[in-house]
Structure 1
Amino acid sequence: MEIFLVATPGLEEPLAQEARALGFDAVIQPGGVTFTGGWPAVWRANLEVRGATRVLVRIGSFRAMHPAQLDKRAHRFPWADFLRPDIPVRVEAASRKSRIYHAGAITQRIEAALRDTLGATIAEDAPVTIKVRIEDDLCTISLDTSGESLHRRGYKQAVAKAPMRETMAAMFLRQCGFDGSEPVLDPMCGSGTFVIEAAEIAAGLKPGRARDFAFQHLVSFDPAAWDALRGAGPAATPGSVRFRGSDRDAGAIRMSRDNAERAGLVDWTEFQSTAIADLQRPDGPPGLVIINPPYGARIGNKGPLFGLHAAMGEVLRARFKGWRVGIVTSDPQLARATGLPFKDPGPYVAHGGLKVRLFQTGPL
């Protein structure tokens, strides 16, 4: 089967790198990466890939030039090879450059075929979603095997304002060259996403270990094989490397600690309420400082932010010699206000209606 990992727009390249590192023969496509494999590969991609927002499986395609042809071929499609009649489904349709152009009409015909041939129940809150796309009169049918977006790891119940999604945090860490072997510090940690994601990578914990997936409702699902694949994971025994977060907001620190506890990473992480001006270099080897600071569109009046960024840069230059710095921002002027020696910024990445970029340095 063709398996498609959906990427956050702008992060296709690091997602492809991650997929290849996991043994998948990934090729970049618009919107994500593809590779081929069977159902165990689908399960493993959902369980282990950190940067994908969801995993789609293309289960078939056929030509459809007009609604009657779509109707006929949808009724002939082998739905029972993939879907259980007792599990409700929902249908999402889209059309591009095709004679059948009305998404609502496509949805209605696919739903009718599912009811008539499988006896399926159609429900808006169904655990399984079928994605139908007609492009150049070719109808492609895919299954969303993830369900909830994969950034929902299953441990983060508390979130700060404008949180960084786990999938994005993992890809920004990868772009900074993080491989789990060095310390990480986030001095504006919010709900702890960068710190917890880095600690999970170091601990060898699988990102999907604590959640359920849509593929568990499909005909192909093998509970015993899934339990063996998921496993318990390596024992979380921290070495000397630590993953630290600080924030001037004591509420954010409480959230971060609670989230780390649910993730099973209390012994790997450390959070404390500290203002940027009071930030101190941790003992031990240099590592990576990574920050998702406030930027203008999130705050409104960005005038005071220039002073904040200048102070942040001054502290990092003075106290963090040998450390690398990564800053995610939508405003290059704020990045420049730090006075840090940034390389050329990374590609634009969609984040909460904004376009952000990763600015990173070499060792200071």
Structure 2
Amino acid sequence: MSELDFFAVCPPGLEPQLAAETGALGFKRGKPESGGITLKGDWSEVWRANLDLRGATRILVRLGSFPAVHLAQLDKRARKFPWRDTLEPHVPVRVEVSTNRKSKIYHAGAAAERIERAISEVMDAPITPEAEVAIKVRIDRDIVTISVDSSGESLHKRGHKVATGKAPIRETLAALMLRACGFDGREPVVDPMCGSGTFLLEAAEIAADLQPGRDRRFAFQSLATFDPDQFATLVRAGSGPIPDVAFHGYDRDRGAIENARANARAASVEDLCHFACQPVSELTAPEGPTGLVILNPPYGTRIGNKGQLYALYGTLGRVLASGFHGWRLGLVTSDAALAHATGFNLTSGPVIDNGGIKVKLYQTTIG
């Protein structure tokens, strides 16, 4: 197989964490860019990236590029593009185009129509917005760059979560924040407001060396480049040795705890995760070594009244200060004042988009 450029997408601001993950997994890296990192390899490396990367939201494979300064030229060159190298005949496709005023072709809808028509005629492929296979086209400075989304559904959809909470954090974002906090799978993790358990499930899967994509389907399985036998060699059966570490989740909402337990069972990490229904005021450190406390508490934007949250954050700070000496803290919130209501001297990371809300990860070591 020839070498490809493919782009692992992540939330802007977390590129260093994704770069560290790709390096740890042995991917051949190109340059980091805003919103992700370019990787290099053959199609089997694309499959492995989808299977193994916890922090990437999708993997885009660059198929080629050509100049075009008007729609007629785009139409002609799109018909000559080697679609058959990647697409299967008759498999439904959707086309998404982004452009800007730096190009003479700046009407995305008109550009999409030309490319859709070319694919439909060359491949005899239905064009539908519900198609699993998505062709991504970027027109910038009169250069048309064509990629295929090898993932399909966003990679935060691991394929085994059965229930979510009121304001969940995406699995990909949780994994990158765990890495930003220095978590490597060998220490306990406590989430005092765990909701459906996302932080703990990601931590437990990392500790158990489970592939994040082991239970789901990918769009690349519908491409002409897919080899099911070779792909099967990349999928690991089960986990590694059971780690001697535990992950503890608490929430005052009994329904959330039931959801977290169901999610842990579905992810095959129920033996590593311990959940209990209790308020923050009753939180105590588990016996054993220190580790990481990480949480995505309410911040008044989606749920709760912000005016009532300062007391909650203050209680959290007092409980942690009295019982978690030596533990590290990672706290996700959109409001710096709420974060500092804990009473800790916190450092903050870059602004991150969490489902349309701008948040930061605040960290400290509890003294």
Band of TM-score, shorter chain: over 0.9
Aligned counterpart, 2:230? 225
Alpha-carbon separation, structure 2, partners of 1:339 and 1:148 = 40
Aligned counterpart, 2:272? 268
Query: 2:105 is matched with which residue: 100, 103, 117?
Result: 100
Alpha-carbon separation, structure 2, partners of 1:148 and 1:56 = 12
Aligned partners of 2:186 and 2:243 also within 8 Å: no
Q: How does 1:163-178 map to 2 (within 5 A)?
A: 163-178=168-183
Aligned counterpart, 1:115? 120
Aligned counterpart, 1:341? 345
Aligned partners of 1:169 and 1:193 also within 8 Å: yes
Alpha-carbon separation, structure 2, partners of 1:313 and 1:189 = 16
Query: 1:72 is matched with which residue: 65, 69, 76?
Result: 76
Q: Which amino acid aligns with 1:264?
A: S
Q: Could you give the per-residue CA deviations for residues 121-153 of structure 1, whole angstroms, max 9, x where no partner exists?
A: 111111100011110000000000000000000
Aligned counterpart, 1:292? 296
SS at 2:175's partner residue? helix
Q: Could you give the per-residue CA deviations for residues 86-124 of structure 1, whole angstroms, max 9, x where no partner exists?
A: 211000011121111111111110011111111111111
Query: 1:249 is matched with which residue: 247, 253, 259?
Result: 253
1:362 aligns with 2:365: yes
1:144 aligns with 2:153: no
Q: Which amino acid aligns with 1:136?
A: R
Alpha-carbon separation, structure 1, partners of 2:205 and 2:126 = 39
Q: How far does residue 293 in structure 1 lie from its aligned partner after superposition?
A: 0.6
Q: How far does residue 50 in structure 1 lie from its aligned partner after superposition?
A: 0.6
Aligned counterpart, 2:306? 302
Alpha-carbon separation, structure 2, partners of 1:8 and 1:113 = 32
Q: Could you give the per-residue CA deviations for residues 44-68 of structure 1, whole angstroms, max 9, x where no partner exists?
A: 0000011111000000100001111
Aligned counterpart, 2:139? 134
Q: Could you give the per-residue CA deviations for residues 26-51 of structure 1, whole angstroms, max 9, x where no partner exists?
A: 32112211021110110000000111
The range that moved more, 239-248 or 37-46, is 239-248
TM-score by length of 2: 0.97
List alignment gaps of at least 5 residues for structure 2: none
Q: Could you give the per-residue CA deviations for residues 181-201 of structure 1, whole angstroms, max 9, x where no partner exists?
A: 000000100000000000000
Q: How far does residue 12 in structure 1 lie from its aligned partner after superposition?
A: 1.4
SS at 1:98's partner residue? coil
Query: 1:47 is matched with which residue: 33, 47, 51?
Result: 51
Number of equivalenced pairs: 362
Alpha-carbon separation, structure 1, partners of 2:217 and 2:110 = 32
Query: 2:355 is matched with which residue: 352, 355, 359?
Result: 352
SS at 1:297's partner residue? coil
Alpha-carbon separation, structure 2, partners of 1:90 and 1:243 = 41
Aligned partners of 1:238 and 1:267 also within 8 Å: no
1:20 aligns with 2:23: yes
Q: What's the C-alpha RMSD, in Å, of the aligned pairs?
A: 1.1
Alpha-carbon separation, structure 1, partners of 2:307 and 2:116 = 53
- The runs of 4+ residues in structure 1 deviating greater than 3 Å are none
SS at 1:335's partner residue? helix
Q: How far does residue 81 in structure 1 lie from its aligned partner after superposition?
A: 0.6
List alignment gaps of at least 5 residues for structure 1: none
Identical aligned pairs, as a percentage?
A: 56
Query: 1:189 is matched with which residue: 191, 194, 218?
Result: 194
Alpha-carbon separation, structure 1, partners of 2:278 and 2:97 = 49
Aligned partners of 2:298 and 2:304 also within 8 Å: no
SS at 2:330's partner residue? strand
The range that moved more, 8-17 or 63-72, is 8-17
Aligned counterpart, 1:155? 160
Q: Which amino acid aligns with 1:23?
A: G
Aligned partners of 1:91 and 1:110 also within 8 Å: yes
Aligned partners of 1:183 and 1:242 also within 8 Å: yes
Q: How far does residue 363 in structure 1 lie from its aligned partner after superposition?
A: 4.5
Q: How far does residue 340 in structure 1 lie from its aligned partner after superposition?
A: 1.7
Aligned partners of 1:170 and 1:198 also within 8 Å: yes
The range that moved more, 223-232 or 190-199, is 223-232
Aligned counterpart, 1:88? 92
